[in-house]
Amino acid sequence: MSPSFAADIAPMLVPYRENMLWRFDLGEYAAVKANAQIIYEALTGEGSAGPMPPPPLPALSGADIATFKSWMEHQCPP
């Protein structure tokens, strides 16, 4: 089954939403979908802002990052 925003993506991002409200709401489907590519780059540390969550916070797990990628490949289902 493909990942969904409600079941898979929101739970991994919501703990960080307060710190990112200046830019977008990581708990809001439309915002995460619209920014999915830069969010993915931030999770993998490839983005220009550096790795997100920023050190010393630990990165999300490889499994969570793979789930995010799969969600994007399935056209970001809600």
CB of 51 within 8 A of CB of 42? yes
Q: Is 23 in the site for ligand HEM (CB under 6 A)?
A: yes
User: Residue 28's CB: how many other CB atoms inside 10 A?
Assistant: 15
**According to CB under 6 A, which one of 5, 9, 20, 76 is a site residue for ligand HEM?**
20
What is the amino acid identity at position 29? Answer: Y
Nearer to ligand HEM, 26 or 76 (CB): 26
CB of 28 within 8 A of CB of 20? no
Binding footprint of ligand HEM on the chain (CB under 6 A): 13, 16, 19-20, 23, 26, 38-39, 42-43, 47, 49, 52-54, 57
